[in-house]
Chains A and B, each alone.
Chain A
Amino acid sequence: MQIIRSPEVHPVIVIGSGASGGMAAWNLTRQGINVLLLDAGSRFDRFTFWTHVQPWEARERHARGEHPPKFFLDTAEQPYVTPPDRPFALTRVWGHGGKTNVWGRVSLRYSELDFKAAVRDGWEIPWPISYSDVAPYYDRVEQLIGVCGGTDDSDALPGSKVLLPPPPPRCGERLLQKSIQKLGIPVVAGRRANMTRTVRGFPPCHYCGNCGAGCDTASFFCSADHLLPEAVATGRLEIRSNAVVARILTDDNGVASGVQYFDRQTGAERQVRAKVVVVGASCVDSTRILLNSKSARHPNGLGNGSDVIGRYLCEQIRLNHAGYFPALEGAPTRNDRGIGGAHIYMPRFNHRSGEGRDYLRGFGAQFWNTGASASGAHGGSHQIPGFGAALKTAIKRRHPAWFEIHPFGEVLPYAHNRITVDESRTDRYGVPLPKIDYRIGENERKMTEHMADTVEEIVRAAGGVLVGYQRGQLDAMGSAIHEHGTCRMGAEPKRSALNKFNQMHEVRNVFVVDGSAFPNASEKNPTLTILALSWRATDYLAEEFKRGSF
């Protein structure tokens, strides 16, 4: 097929329109820089979201042949490769806004414990930045996207003065909070990008709790609603949909000259030129693009003379336990939908004295699905023995009493946990597929033990009963959907791919602004930090443009 080459040289091409790419496009265009934004999908129309569709209505709609927006990329269209004995549950959203359409919205500031972890324990490389570098950007991002939370401030979770009021806890969350605090572990208000007040003209959260279906009122941050329209309004943003980027092109000097992509609808190959390329396709896809961008000057993938790109893939380990509080059985059913996730959060505590831990890094805990489910009986109801009126009564009595505990723990960056491109396996465009080889090690196993001890202590202190409990049973690898590390920033070009402004050491007109830039995963949810770093990196890029560097 004929390759369509466009002669125009765009000042900046941004790849991906989620948290990282959307932020880059928004921040560059408002500073007067023209951007061509390539997204592998198209717009999801939020007026067609099934935000308020009840389960029985969903079945009726399906029976009529209707479907909600298809957010998740089908592996039949775009497979990825894993070793047969090491599955990895990769979740990808191709389309405007990417995963921010359906993200969990947990918005936690990283602390010096995260940025300086490697300084303290010597495991791999530290971030080339400190909390003080990022703090002003956290302030700006939180105000821009509307994060609710409390007034707490600690060495594990730095405070913020710009948060919106948090929703009060549900009954079960109150019990958890009270009991965990009795153990000497602080529990704070959850911080989530649900707008509990009007923000920039977007209506506040209405507490339907079904955020996972996408928000039809745009009351939680989604790049497609909260960043892209403003960027388009500047007149400086062109969004090209269904542009599946394959490679970043380079000139004879190894400098990036543009991008090669395939039209997802026609399969046609296209090439577009740019002075600067900003990569924000999410960790795995950005890494795939970089590794596939081989040339004489970059035989190991773009900017990968150090051979770090693709390595150090780190996600998180997570337990997922459920139980009930006998004290809440038989209580009247309340509307516990809230902001569609936990209203409390247990920040990391294991760094404090007296914990006697035998592993590196730490974990925090979330508590989703605590309270009366609004989408059917809680899954634990299936474990109640018997049948008949007694079963029906037991399910109803237990309905308001369910709680869940989900400790999230950091997985260390290991060189052998890596994404490679499999030349023998290609997608429909002939582009090599990403191969993900990921496993946890001894440090994570020890951490899991501490996580399990903590779960058991909490449940004991709170007077709860665990149901279907299997100690230390971790969720599937990849299921935290927090991939990091495969294009990490660092002070030393031999050990990192990016400098402290997310700029490639070896290719100065390429920036990588998504989670792949993180040297380590932390136990926290990364999106707030991705937004802050993408803002910071593109501030730097805009300055460089003004200075005539590009």
Chain B
Amino acid sequence: MDPSEVRLLKRAQGDVNRRDALRTLAAGTIGAVTSTTWVESLSALAQAHAHAAASPVATQGWAPRVLTARQNTTVITLTELIIPETDTPGARAAGVNRFIDGVLHEATPPDRDRFVRGLAWIDERSTALFGRAFADAGVAQQTTLLTRLADADNTDAGDRPGVEFFRAIKSMTISGYYTTEIGLRRELGDDGRLMLAEFEGCTHPEHQG
């Protein structure tokens, strides 16, 4: 049995809890080794959530279950900065904020708190730098702050909570966005065909043995 399949199915079955999610990571999800526990934990949960989980998807009447309206706006802003609209829609149009709220709903209270504190940290830092909360800052200002947090060489201890938070929300955004119809079909170009008479395989002359 391919463990990758077992993991996906366990997720789909809804057997996912934090321990399983961490074990999934330990059992071979790529990377995240350098992350701190809560970042790993939320990232793994988001990957699990992408294939299962009871996230509300109704287009009308949706309200966040974990995030406040203000926090939700900040999450929308952040996710759209991470995966923006280009020639295809971005994270905002794909509803990644709703996905993240769903992940947080399932997360352990400590992990959820770390995420929410990360949001607060972003606002505090934005206010200190630009005199405005993150969602109200200009795009150039937002980009400046995120560039600092995304920098792998940033060892500034004062930035550490923000660096961790950014890693978590980036991972959650990737998991959420690319498992939507927008992300998988329109952006990645998956043809969505689930019934083929024959599998064609590689037909490139340059790849043949």
Report B149 CB to chain A, min CB distance, Å. Answer: 9
Within 8 A of A (CB), among B135-149: 143, 146
Main secondary structure of the interface of A (DSSP, over half): loop
Let me know if A392 and B86 touch, CB within 8 A.
yes
- Nearest-neighbour CB distance to chain A for B105, whole angstroms, equals 11
Complex contact A333–B188 (CB within 8 A): yes
Is B189 interfacial (CB-CB < 8 Å)?
yes
Complex Cα distance A315/B50, Å? Answer: 31
The complex places the Cα of A174 from the Cα of B54 at a distance, in Å, of 39
Interface status of A338 (Cβ within 8 A of chain B): yes
Cβ of B6: which chain A residues have Cβ within 8 Å of it? 72, 91, 102, 212, 481
Residue from A71, A102, A377 within 8 A of B178 (CB atoms): A377
- B3, B81, B143, B146: residue with the most chain A Cβ atoms closer than 10 Å: B3
Q: Which of A58-66, A138-146, A231-239, A283-291 lies on the face that meets chain B?
A: A58-66
Q: Is the CB of B15 within 8 A of A72?
A: yes
User: Once the chains are docked, how many angstroms separate the CA of A255 from the CA of B43?
Assistant: 55
* Contact A207 B189, beta carbon cutoff 8 Å: no
| Contacts of B169-199 to chain A: CB distance below 8 A | 170-171, 174-175, 177-181, 183-184, 187-199
| Interface pair A171/B207, CB less than 8 Å apart | yes
Bound complex: CA A104 to CA B179 (Å):
23
Least CB distance, B13 to chain A, in whole angstroms: 5
Residue numbers in A under 8 Å from B52 (CB-CB): 58-59, 62
Contact status A213-B56, CB under 8 Å: no
For residue A339, CB closer than 8 A to chain B, the reply is: yes
Task: Let me know if A435 is at the binding interface, CB within 8 A.
Answer: no
A225 to nearest B CB, angstroms? 17
Task: Assess A104 versus B51: contact at CB under 8 Å? Given A170-B202, A335-B193, A377-B188.
Answer: no
Per-position contact with A for B150-178: 1 when CB-CB < 8 Å, else 0? 10100000000000000000110011011
Once A50-B12, A379-B47, A468-B33 are accepted as A-B contacts, the answer to whether A388 and B5 lie under 8 Å apart by CB is no
Flag B85-118 by CB within 8 Å of A: 1 or 0 each.
0100010000000010010000000000000000
**Interface footprint category on B:** 35 or more
Q: Tell whether A392 pairs with B196 under 8 Å between CB atoms, given A376-B178, A476-B26.
A: no
Interface residues on chain A, number (Cβ under 8 Å): 87
Taken together as a complex, chains A and B put the C-alpha atoms of A473 and B202 apart, in Å, by 31
A110–chain B nearest beta-carbon distance, Å: 18
Q: How near does chain B come to A526, taking the closest CB pair, in angstroms?
A: 11
Judge whether B81 and A320 touch: CB under 8 Å.
no
Residue B8 lies at the interface, judged by CB distance under 8 Å to chain A = yes
* Residues of chain B contacted by A103 (CB below 8 angstroms): 1
For the complex formed, measure the closest distance between the CB of A219 and the CB atoms of chain B, giving whole angstroms: 11
CB proximity to B under 8 Å, residues A354-412: 366, 368-369, 372, 374-383, 385-389, 391-393, 395-396, 399
CB within 8 Å of A: which B1-19 residues: 1-6, 8-10, 12-15
Q: How far is the CB of A85 from chain B (nearest CB, A)?
A: 14
Nearest-neighbour CB distance to chain A for B82, whole angstroms, equals 5
29 A-B pairs with C-beta separation under 8 A: A59-B52, A63-B54, A68-B12, A69-B13, A71-B13, A72-B13, A102-B1, A103-B1, A169-B201, A207-B199, A332-B189, A333-B191, A341-B5, A366-B2, A377-B177, A379-B31, A380-B30, A382-B30, A382-B31, A382-B32, A388-B143, A391-B83, A392-B90, A396-B187, A399-B189, A468-B30, A475-B3, A475-B28, A479-B3
Closest 10 CB pairs of A and B: A212-B5, A168-B201, A468-B31, A320-B28, A333-B189, A55-B179, A377-B178, A104-B1, A468-B30, A208-B194
Q: A335-B193, A382-B175, A399-B189 are in contact. List 9 more A-B contacts (CB 8 A).
A: A50-B12, A59-B57, A69-B13, A167-B201, A169-B202, A170-B201, A213-B9, A377-B174, A395-B188
